[in-house]
Structure formats: structure tokens, C-alpha cells
Amino acid sequence: MSNLPKKNEEYGTREYWDKRYEQEPEDATFDWFKKYADVAHLIHDAIPEKSAKILMLGCGNSTLSEDMYDNGYKNIVNIDYSPVVISQMSSRHRGRRPEMECKFMDIRDLQFEDGSFDVAVDKGTMDAMMTANGDVWASNKNDPPQRVVEDCTKEVNEVVRVLRKGSGTFLYLTFGQPHFRRRYLAREGASLEIKQIGDAFHYYLYILRT
């Protein structure tokens, strides 16, 4: 595939994502790990209210938001720090999904009021940030690089800030095992539930309730 990076850590750069989306056809879609159909039962359990206000973190050109929208979750705001994919996603949904919003934004610096969302969803976005500056397996004593720790901490801090206190839910779908992810998600006063998905190769759904 020509859109694969030369080095894994390119997944942690905005340049890589812009170039990748520029090379793809305007209407291309790609889903990392899982599609809505694979996890719909888990999403329904975690988001029983179809009217919930949902923030999609690093939407890329995934079909997750549109499948959720078409299934009744109409109140979705997609954000991504690639202006290229945000322009493509805006054209894709314009007319067809009038309530869907697409905004250019960095997940480490959310331009939303405190407590303004019921749910935030991350599918593979924190994972992309984690590739920056090398491989977590290769660092000393399994400690990830400082930049990765800062970026992931900023994301989760921002998510917790924009979620409604007492009733907010952060859903994070990843291949990352609890040993590598729990440190970013554990927050005082919030509960963390972890669900394992799949048989041979496992994925994980982290559910942080604020």
C-alpha cells in the first residue's frame, strides 16, 4: 500500500495524515481496527440515549460516525487535526447528514466549553499519537517517551474537561493492552471499565465514566 509510512512514528505527525488523505480519492473511507457493526452492541450499552452529544476524536475518514448517525445518533461532532480530511468529511456529509458537524481541531486543545458533551469516542487516535518518537516496547523500563506521555495526558485531560461531570462517558477503542493504556485513563473520581474484544487478536474498549 502506497499510503503506508516509511517509519511507524510518522503516524504521530500531522504531515503524514495530510499527505495520506490528499493522495486518497475524495470519497475514500478507511476504518482502523473495527467498524460500527463490529462494536454496535457495546456502543448501544455504553450510549443508551440516541440524543447524546458525541465528540468523535480524530475521525479520519472512518465510517463510524456516519453509521452511528444513520442508526439514530444524530448529535455528533467530528474533529481531526488534518484540514484535508475535515474538508473531505464535510463534503461527504453535507446534504446527506445535515446535523453532523466536522471541525478542524487538535484533540490536545479542544475548543469547547467545559461539560459540553455526553460522550467522547477515540478509535485509534491516541494510538497514532503514541507512535511519535519511537516504539513504547523499546524505551527504557517500558516507559514511553516524554512527548507521548504529555500528548496522551493532554488528550484525556481535555476529554474529561469537556465531558459532563457525573454523567460523561469516554470510549476508547484500541489494540493497546491495559498495561500500556491504563496510566493515561485512570482519573480520580472517575471509574474505568475495560472490555476485551475478539478471540485470537484482542482489542480493548476502555470506558471511562466521569
Binding site for ligand SAM (CB under 6 A): 17, 31-32, 58-60, 62, 64, 80-82, 85, 106-108, 123-125, 128-129
Q: Which is nearer to ligand SAM, 147 or 165 (CB)?
A: 147
Per-residue cell: 181: 493504556
Q: How far is the CB of 65 from ligand SAM (least distance, A)?
A: 9
Q: How far is the CB of 140 from ligand SAM (least distance, A)?
A: 25
Type and span of the H or E element at 191: strand 191-197
Q: Which is nearer to ligand SAM, 155 or 191 (CB)?
A: 155
Per-residue cell: 121: 469516542
Tell me how crowded residue 161 is: count the other CB atoms within 10 A of its CB. Answer: 17
Per-residue cell: 4: 503506508
Q: Where are the alpha helices (DSSP H) in the chain?
A: 14-23, 36-46, 64-70, 83-93, 125-130, 146-162, 178-185
Q: Which is nearer to ligand SAM, 64 or 208 (CB)?
A: 64
Per-residue cell: 6: 516509511
Q: Which is nearer to ligand SAM, 108 or 187 (CB)?
A: 108
Q: How far is the CB of 62 from ligand SAM (least distance, A)?
A: 3
Give the whole-angstrom CA distance, residue 170 versus residue 117. Answer: 10
Minimal CB distance residue for ligand SAM: 58
Q: How far is the CB of 189 from ligand SAM (least distance, A)?
A: 25
